[in-house]
Amino acid sequence: EAGVTQSPTHLIKTRGQQATLRCSPISGHTSVYWYQQALGLGLQFLLWYDEGEERNRGNFPPRCSGRRFPNYSSELNVNALELEDSALYLCASSQPGGTGGLFFGEGSRLTVL
């Protein structure tokens, strides 16, 4: 069974540009979560889609937004990139209600120059 898949694996952008990161959950999982892991730091919650609806947002600027699709896949968009947006963006998925826990993808490494 395929795990959570994310693309692209690496992305290099310059300040002011926009980045789009994509995530496909494990088959049967209807909840998708986005976390940011800056170098050497822990994971910070960004966004959560539950059964396709936005359930919760973390404390991040409005230039960071998400989209969800009928098949429960998701996109994370970061506009007007700043240097501090450089991080590993991790997507996770779970069964409804979080049963069984959250399972993470390999992440998308975003570098802003």
What residues are paired with 37 via a beta bridge?
A: 43, 88
44 binds another protein (CB under 8 A): yes
What whole-number distance in Å separates Cα of residue 58 and Cα of residue 44? 8
CA-derived radius of gyration, the chain: 13
Contact pattern from residue 53 through residue 92 relative to another protein, giving x for each residue in contact according to CB under 8 A and a dash for the rest = --xx-x-------------------------------x--
Q: How big is the site for another protein, counted in residues (CB under 8 A)?
A: 24
- Compare residues 81 and 91 and give the one whose CB is closer to another protein: 91
Which residue, chain included where needed, has tokens 């952008």? 13
User: Does residue 62 have a cis bond before it (omega within 30 degrees)?
Assistant: no
- Compare residues 36 and 78 and give the one whose CB is closer to another protein: 36
Smallest gap from Cβ 1 to another protein, in A, equals 15
Contact pattern from residue 7 through residue 36 relative to another protein, giving x for each residue in contact according to CB under 8 A and a dash for the rest = ------------------------x-x-x-
What whole-number distance in Å separates Cα of residue 1 and Cα of residue 81? 35
110 binds another protein (CB under 8 A): no
Which residue, chain included where needed, has tokens 């290099």? 12
42 binds another protein (CB under 8 A): yes
Q: Which two structure tokens, joined as six digits, stand for 23?
A: 């995530």
